[in-house]
Chain A
Amino acid sequence: MRQIQVELESVIMNSYTKLLAILQPNTSRRILLQRRDAFHSNTVKSPINISGSSAVNTKQQSRFSSTDSSSKTLDYEAKNAYKLHLLEEGPKTNVSCNREEGLEFYKKMQVVRRMEASANNMYKSKLIRGFCHLYSGQEAVCVGMRAAMDKSDSLITAYRAHGWSYMMGVSVTGVLAELTGRKSGCAEGKGGSMHMYAPNFYGGNGIVGAQVPLGAGVAFAHKYRGEPNICVALYGDGAANQGQVFEAYNMAKLWALPCIFVCENNGYGMGTSAARASANPHFYTRCEYIPGIWVDGMDVLAVREATRFAKEWCVSGKGPMIMEMATYRYFGHSMSDPGTSYRTREEIQDVRKSRDPITSFREKVIQAGLASDEEFKTIDNEVKKIVEDAENHAQNDPELHVDEMYSHVYSNPPKNYMIRGCDSFTYKEATK
């Protein structure tokens, strides 16, 4: 019974948007507000007891001079952070982090947030052209998941790739300069938004859902080589309805691949809310033979804990796992979508106020006495500088020479192979 109740709550976010279309303006508004309140009062504002316990950790003490806070940990019971499918036991609900981790998570989330804000600005001033999908609001997912992965784990995602690119090792300059099409971009400016890559980070992909079977293949490689690693294959709630996703589920289970399928459910597949596009909007239950976990994707520590659990599961040979990260995007689907025609401004403001992954985490850290407000301000300034530097590169670095247009079409082109052009001076030998 309780399980059903919990599931119902998770669809409310979508159903109140759904109601907008069905009901008369006045009624809909009232019901919308009621539903939203119900949603937040049930799932978000559940009381969290935060304790700053003094677990002594010698390593940390040596690294931090500020004596008091360095030995403390942030520790709380994330009661409603998970829901399970085909699992008897889930991740630990007691989540914690020490000062060092807390500050690191905060900093990384802030970098992603600021980087996206910068991309937004540069897009609006036409320094970035084309297609650009911002990750703002979903930071806890990439930062939390990455914290549970090790360096050799692989990852593949779709077009909302900026945050993940940074977390997988691309510098802020690498991201922003790619967006502006400069040589210092991570794909030398040849790709632009959504075309971002790094070692073990297989992209960056523009075709909705196409990356998921690739992820299963990468996971197979880990298994075949006997490595204790996983591949994380991410997709959105919109892509969850692509047939390829189910084809990948089947292969992954059939061959017990160490693959975590992660549905970043930000509520809307482009302009259509999840409940309107999916017969079953509980994405973690969408495979009858793969266990799943629903995770509060706005809580960075819960995300880390759940990912640890999923990774252990996969690496121990039990096969794949599905995770649904319940999160939210503040901007529209892409830059051409203002993001307000299918949801209310109040809804966005509400999430910003009550569920924001960064401010909520910051509050918890301060409450536990791990760091002071001033320290966070210092980090904010550092982050600001990193992003400003990157912005500077993104705007002033040179573009790739036009001859490079022909490189990387084939590997080892045959001798005298020319990329065929249309006139006498554009038959070119491929250089790379």
Chain B
Amino acid sequence: MLGASKELCGIRRLAHFTFVKDQPDPSLGQTKEMNLCQAIQNAMDLTLANDHTAIVFGEDVAFGGVFRCTVDLRQKYGADRVFNTPLSEQGIVGFGIGTAVSGATTIAEIQFADYIFPAYDQIVNEAAKYRYRSGNLFDCGRLTIRAPWGAVGHGALYHSQSPEAQFLHTPGIKVVIPRSAIQAKGLLLSCIKDNNPCIFFEPKILYRSAKEDVPIKDYTIPLSKAEVLIEGTDITMVTWGTQVHVLREVIQMVAKENISCELIDLRTIVPWDVDTVCKSVVKTGKLLISHEAPITGGVGAEIAATVMKECFLNLEAPIERVCGYDVHPIPHTFEAFYIPSKWRCFDGVKRLMNY
């Protein structure tokens, strides 16, 4: 009995997904194995090298940051371009808006997405509205805010949140979440080059585990463009970040029951790619949306409402959302129960098919 419980404990401590590598686009040339963290570092490295106006700052970034995403940048580009800030999130973002509006390519790091809330006012009222309220005279499009995001296995209430939905309601900013190292580099470079303020959330559980061959040159992946990762005919699955890997496994599980799923990585959460999602739902007639954040008022709700309007006559079953529960994400001991695991997603598939 004790042995069994120990074993269960052992299983519980493991990651709730298996990372699946992507193949790099051969047209992008030479590659190097990098994890997600190194890919992010590489994107910033290229930016600092190619754009002399670029600056990187945040709490402890000078010596590499808590997750080592900015390691070596200070030595390479100097303390005037890569520097530490005081612990002051509202100040960091406000300062970043200031540098961006006056012409610097600004990459600001908020140490955890959970700490972004003191800066919420600056993002929503200053960054997002700047262009609009000044009649396009000023904008802070050169601002990119990076923040580690999502469940990490043991982060508890202040280090596990996925606040993308908090920004869904704010026109004027873009929110991007990558699923892998190749994606992270291309999407981050897009965010940096995009002429709108962008929030780039990095799934911190993937920092080390998402290792793949990343092209070493400067490349971008278009924003607001979802990617169809697996084609299928019975169910459309929409997700982003870590959850992509959970759903990949679910798709393998249900394939044994001869259910064919189409997997879409949304990548840009705001503004999101309605066309790709709807086109897929028209084909399959069923939609499952999955995200780590609590279900009520989550990004899934917005997607469901839009798809319901656009594809009403194509839908064959009520849209299924498999998400976090409406409790505070994420209770320390209950992370394994909280997350929309493969089993809960599997159950969602069953309900869609049996409707």
Interface residues of A (CB under 8 A from B): 21, 126, 129-131, 181, 189-195, 206-210, 238-239, 241-244, 269-272, 276-278, 336-337, 341-342, 399-400, 402, 405-406, 409, 419-424, 426
Contacts and interface: CB of A to CB of B under 8 A. Distances in A.
B59 A270 contact: yes
Nearest to B340: A422
Given A239-B87, A409-B327, A130 B332 contact: yes
Given A207-B114, A238-B86, A194 B325 contact: no
B87 A208 contact: yes
Interface stretch (B34-42, B177-185, B343-351): B343-351
A193 B157 CA distance: 10
Contacts of B117: 207
B161 to A, nearest CB: 11
B159 A130 contact: yes
Centre residue among B59, B322, B333, B334 by max chain A CB count within 10 A = B333
Given A422-B322, A423-B347, 13 more contacts: A191-B332, A192-B156, A192-B332, A206-B114, A209-B87, A238-B86, A242-B118, A272-B60, A399-B333, A400-B333, A409-B326, A422-B321, A423-B344
A130 B325 contact: no
A89 B154 CA distance: 49
Contacts of B87: 208-209, 238-239, 241-242, 269-270, 277
B132 interface: no
Contacts of A244: 118
Contact of A207 (B59, B158, B334): B158
Given A272-B60, A420-B295, A423-B348, A189 B118 contact: no
Contacts of A341: 63-64
A419 B158 CA distance: 21
Contact of A195 (B85, B152, B156, B338): B156
A423 B60 contact: no
Contacts of A129: 13, 153-154
Given A206-B114, A207-B117, A241 B326 contact: no
B328 interface: yes
B84 interface: yes
B123 to A, nearest CB: 15
Contacts of B327: 405-406, 409, 419
Interface of B: 13, 59-60, 62-64, 66, 79, 84-88, 90-91, 114-115, 117-118, 152-159, 295-296, 321-323, 325-328, 331-334, 337-338, 340, 344, 347-348, 351
Contacts of B333: 181, 189-190, 192, 399-400
> Which 6 A/B pairs are nearest by Cβ-Cβ distance?
A206-B158, A129-B154, A192-B332, A241-B86, A130-B154, A181-B333
A326 B186 CA distance: 46
B158 A181 contact: no
B115 A402 contact: no
A243 B90 contact: yes
Contacts of A400: 333
Contacts of B152: 130
Nearest to B331: A190
A280 to B, nearest CB: 12
A413 to B, nearest CB: 11
Nearest to A422: B322
Contact of A243 (B79, B88, B295): B88
B234 to A, nearest CB: 19
A2 B198 CA distance: 52
A209 B158 CA distance: 13
Contact of A181 (B85, B323, B328, B332): B332
Contacts of A243: 88, 90-91, 118
A161 B79 CA distance: 33
25 contacts: A130-B156, A131-B155, A192-B154, A195-B156, A206-B114, A206-B158, A207-B117, A207-B118, A208-B87, A238-B87, A242-B87, A242-B118, A243-B118, A270-B87, A272-B60, A272-B86, A277-B84, A341-B63, A402-B337, A406-B325, A409-B327, A420-B325, A421-B326, A423-B344, A423-B348
A189 B331 CA distance: 8
A267 to B, nearest CB: 14
Nearest to B156: A192
Contacts of A189: 332-333
A337 B66 contact: yes
Contact of A426 (B59, B84, B325): B325
A136 to B, nearest CB: 20
Nearest to B350: A423
A419 B331 CA distance: 15
B323 A422 contact: yes
A239 B89 CA distance: 11
A242 B91 CA distance: 8
